[in-house]
Amino acid sequence: MRNTEGSKQCPHCNAPMATSDTRHVSKLTPAQLKLLRYVDDLDGPDRVKALKWVHDVALYESKEPLFEVEKEALYQIKVLWQLIEETLR
């Protein structure tokens, strides 16, 4: 059994929170890693604003066509900021 002493629990579902040693960064693209490093330094409300900004720029300001993969990624960003907002309440 792993030692969970000192680990944080998700306030939403009580699951153990990922730490730097449990993240599977090898599955992420360099762009995803860069985004995670950027928002990781922000606190909750600023993180939500940053995610909304990324979502809106990609959706409304970009001239690039959105395919199914991009649409799914934008949806996941929206889900993420909604979960963070819910946690902050």
Q: What's the confidence (pLDDT) of residue 9?
A: 60
- Residues with pLDDT less than 50, the chain: 1-5, 20-23
pLDDT in tens, 33-53: 777 777 676 788 888 898 999
CA 77 to CA 46: how far, in whole Å?
Answer: 14
Q: What's the confidence (pLDDT) of residue 67?
A: 92
HEC profile of the chain? CCCCCCCCECCCCCCECCCCCCCCHHHCCHHHHHHHHHHHCCCHHHHHHHHHHHHHHHHHHCCCCCCHHHHHHHHHHHHHHHHHHHHHC
CA 19 to CA 65: how far, in whole Å?
Answer: 35
Instruction: Return the domain boundaries, the chain.
Output: 26-88
